[in-house]
Structures are given as structure tokens and as C-alpha cells.
Amino acid sequence: MKIIIHSFFAIYLLTGLHHSIAMEWPSSSSASHSFIPNSATKRPRPQAEKEILVPTERSPKKTKSESFDPFLPLNGGKLELLTTIEDHDNFFVDALSKAQQSILITTHALTSMDEEIFSLLQKKSSAGLKIWIFSAEIEEDIERDLKSLRIYPCLMPIHAKIIGIDNKLVALGSFNWLSKQYDNSIDPSIVIHNSQSAQKILQEFWQRKTDYKKLIEFDEEDEAGLERYTHQISRKFSINPKPLSISPLPFQIELLSTPDQHHQFLIECFKRAEKKIVIYSRFISKDAQFLYSLLEALNINAFIQRGGILEIICQRATVEERILKQALAVYKMISWISVNSLHSKALIVDDGKITTVGSYNWFSSAMDFGDDYALLETTLIFKGQGGSWLATGLQL
């Protein structure tokens, strides 16, 4: 049984009306603490639907092309693309081993930790490093083990997946650190080995952490206070929906960290794309009304009339996949690729003129802070040379 912060939301979950993004990973039998997002929502809640489970074969294991270099020079540093579980595990161990001052880990669910990672965290905690861990779900057994190391994981409404080391290195993408993983899934992260860019990303995270963390500080009976705060932050986010510049040309890296920024960015992609948009979307809303509202805002008809092609890469054989196909049935020039194991939330515009990697699910995540599933999300945008390089790596 989970210990839920607000009893109202515990009842809400039991009705089975929650949105598909509410929890990415199945909970284990161990008890855990969970954050259930705020209730100040304007999104209609759909009736519960059962997901049809069908036997699927494991996706073929990806092999890297010998011609693709997963590293790209960046202003005295470099970018690194991680695509496999092995890539992420090796990076995680190496990053923790080299940390000298501080470690930041954010994940949607803190549900898995092997002995090597635990040993490294123990060593770094004993050495006096500052260690922060933020998650929307924390298993009590892991929480207890971490507290024995004087590491205190923090519960908050978060879906971003970030590693920050010494304000010098940042990894960001769709891979859930310290969580159960999908075998052979498409699940990329970008590592930025550049202190100036890393500091900008981490500064933005700490600001957004403050905005979102306050959501769980309201008493469950203080609905008026929660609504006022939600309205306040919604206005704050809507005033400046532009991405934060992380690195100038020739790479032009930008960061999205609010629902408004993500929603406006997606609209701009459909406005400006000339040929093709590829969207990787593991999680798709079961709420048909939400989908129709999103598709109307994107003005897909205008994009298609210009000769544009939309390609959607999604998880095979789910209720959500069928609902999205039905919503898009009126449009032509849309192609589908269904795969057995997908967790990526990437987006590629015009063969890499713009390419993104991050935690935001383009067909289910909140479009504004007033949505009841407005979790802290982060996405990196790459343009120019960086966009082309990343698009090549994602499509191998």
C-alpha cells in the first residue's frame, strides 16, 4: 500500500480515473511514498480503460554505427549521447566516482539501486559531498538505506531525469536513474561536459524545484490556497514561454522547463517545419478531449497542406496508441512506427534542423501548470550542427 500525501488523491487513484502519465513504472510490492499531482485541473478526466496486454517479442538490440561518433565538441567541452542501458550504467558509475563536491539526482521513481551505486553514494557521503535526490515516488526500503548514509531523498512532483555533478557536468534525457528500466528500450540522454552550460541548466532546475516543491506544502483542506498558488505560477510561466538559451551558435542549445514552454515549442515546430516531424512518444493520453485540444492547437492541417509529413514512433499494442490513431484518422501524410520497447520522448524536425531529448511526453504531459499532472519536466533543444548530430544518433 502506498502512503499518499493527500487523502483526496488516494481516493482519486482508487477510482482508476488517473491519467496515463501518472506513474511510468509499475510499483513493486514494497511500500513507497508517492506524490500525486494537484487537483486544480481543467482537463476532463476520462473513464478508466484497461490496457490490452499482448505478447510481444523483445526489440532487437541496437548496435551503434561505426561511422557515428557519440561525442561532439562543444565550446571547450563536449556533448555525449547515451542510448543504451549499458551506456547509462557506465556513465552513472563513472560520474559518481569522479564527483568531488556535489551530486544531484532526479528521477520519476526511486525504486531500484544496485550495490555498486549504493557503495559509491556511501563513499561520497562519508567524504562530505552534498547529495540531493528528488523523486515523485520513493520506496521505503531504499529511503531507509539512504538515510542510513545521511542522504535524505526528497518527495516532489517531478518527471525530469537529471544527473548533476560538481556544477560541471549535467546529464538530461528520458532515462530514469535509480528506477526499473525497459530492456533494450529506445531511451536517450545527453551529457553536457561543459561547466558554463551545466551551471545554467542546474540554476534553472533549482528555480523550478522551488516552484513545484511548494505544491506539496498545502494542507489537503486548503483547496483555495492551492488554487491561488497554481494560478500565480501559471501566470508566471505563461508570461515568458521562450526556452532558456544554454549555448550560442553554432550549436544553439536551449532548455525547456515549464509546461508552457513545452507546449509553445511544439506549436512552433508545426508552424515552422518545412518537410517532416518525427515524434517519439511512449506515453499517450487516454483522454480523447485532451488529444483533440492538443491537435487543434498544433494546426496539423496547415503543416500537411504545406507538404509536411508527420511520423509517430510509439509503443505497440496499447489502448493509448489506438486512441491517438483514431484522433488522427482525419489527417493524411501521417506514418506510424510501432516498436516493442520505447521510452524516448524525442522530437526531430526536418532531419535534424531541430532535435530534442528530454522527459516531456509530447502526447500526454501537461500543457500548463494548472493541469493536475503538471510535473517538473525538462527538455534540451539542439539546433544547427548539434541537431543534425543528435538526429543521426537517435535514428541509428
- Domains of the chain and CATH, by start: 71-207 (3.30.870.10), 246-388 (3.30.870.10)
Confidence of residue 35 (pLDDT cuts 50, 70, 90): low
Cα torsion angle, 46, 160, 26, 214, sign: negative
Residues 6 or more apart whose Cβ sits within 8 Å of residue 115: none
Q: 219-241, pLDDT tens digit by residue?
A: 777 888 988 999 898 888 888 78
What does pLDDT average to over the chain? 82
pLDDT of residue 30: 55
Q: 127-144, pLDDT tens digit by residue?
A: 999 999 999 999 999 999
Q: 305-363, pLDDT tens digit by residue?
A: 999 999 989 877 666 777 777 777 777 778 888 888 888 999 999 999 999 999 999 98
pTM: 0.84
Rounded Cα distance, 165 and 105, in Å: 9
pLDDT of residue 365: 92
Is 215 or 19 the better-scoring residue by pLDDT?
A: 215
pLDDT of residue 315: 78
Burial class of residue 128, CB neighbours in 10 A (0-12, 13-18, 19+): exposed
pLDDT of residue 360: 96
Query: Does residue 250 have a cis peptide bond before it, meaning omega lies within 30 degrees of 0?
Result: yes
pLDDT at residue 366 greater than cutoff 60: yes
Rounded Cα distance, 313 and 71, in Å: 25
Is 206 or 283 the better-scoring residue by pLDDT?
A: 206
Q: Is 329 helix (H, G, I), strand (E, B) or coil?
A: coil
pLDDT of residue 319: 66
Q: What is the DSSP letter of 342?
A: B
- DSSP letters, 135-197, are EEEEEHHHHHHHHTTT---EE-SB--EEEEETTTEEEEES--TTS---TT-B--EEEEE-HHH
Cα torsion angle, 127, 133, 139, 144, sign: positive
pLDDT of residue 241: 81
Q: C-alpha cell of 244?
A: 532558456
Confidence of residue 12 (pLDDT cuts 50, 70, 90): very low
Rounded Cα distance, 57 and 327, in Å: 28
pLDDT of residue 69: 95
Of 16-25, 32-41, 216-225, 377-386, the range with the lowest mean pLDDT is 16-25
Dihedral angle computed from the Cα positions of residues 120, 124, 130 and 131, in that order, rounded to the nearest 10 degrees: 10
Rounded Cα distance, 178 and 106, in Å: 9
Q: Is 100 helix (H, G, I), strand (E, B) or coil?
A: coil
Rounded Cα distance, 226 and 215, in Å: 7
Question: Across 272-286, 289-303, 304-318, 343-357, which has the greatest mean pLDDT?
Answer: 343-357
pLDDT of residue 376: 96
Dihedral angle computed from the Cα positions of residues 242, 207, 136 and 87, in that order, rounded to the nearest 10 degrees: 70
Q: What average pLDDT does this structure show over 33-53?
A: 42
pLDDT at residue 5 greater than cutoff 60: no
pLDDT of residue 181: 67
Whole-number Cα distances in Å, 71 to 74, 117, 186, 206:
9, 25, 18, 27
pLDDT at residue 65 greater than cutoff 60: no
User: Any long-range contacts for 252-255 (C-beta under 8 Å, 24+ apart)?
Assistant: 252/382, 252/383, 252/384, 252/386, 253/192, 253/197, 253/380, 253/381, 253/382, 253/383, 253/386, 254/380, 254/381, 254/383, 255/200, 255/201, 255/204, 255/378, 255/379, 255/380, 255/381
- Nearest Cα to 279, choosing from 320, 312, 323? 312
Rounded Cα distance, 324 and 326, in Å: 5
Is 43 or 323 the better-scoring residue by pLDDT?
A: 323
Whole-number Cα distances in Å, 301 to 215, 279, 298, 312, 358:
38, 17, 9, 16, 26
pLDDT of residue 66: 60
pLDDT at residue 1 greater than cutoff 70: no
Confidence of residue 27 (pLDDT cuts 50, 70, 90): very low
Q: What average pLDDT does this structure show over 262-281?
A: 95
Whole-number Cα distances in Å, 93 to 72, 189, 262:
21, 15, 31
Whole-number Cα distances in Å, 303 to 210, 226, 263, 276, 297:
38, 39, 17, 9, 12
Q: What average pLDDT does this structure show over 52-64?
A: 37
Q: What average pLDDT does this structure show over 171-195?
A: 87
Of 4-8, 197-201, 286-290, the range with the lowest mean pLDDT is 4-8
Q: C-alpha cell of 338?
A: 510501432
Of 2-6, 95-99, 248-252, the range with the lowest mean pLDDT is 2-6
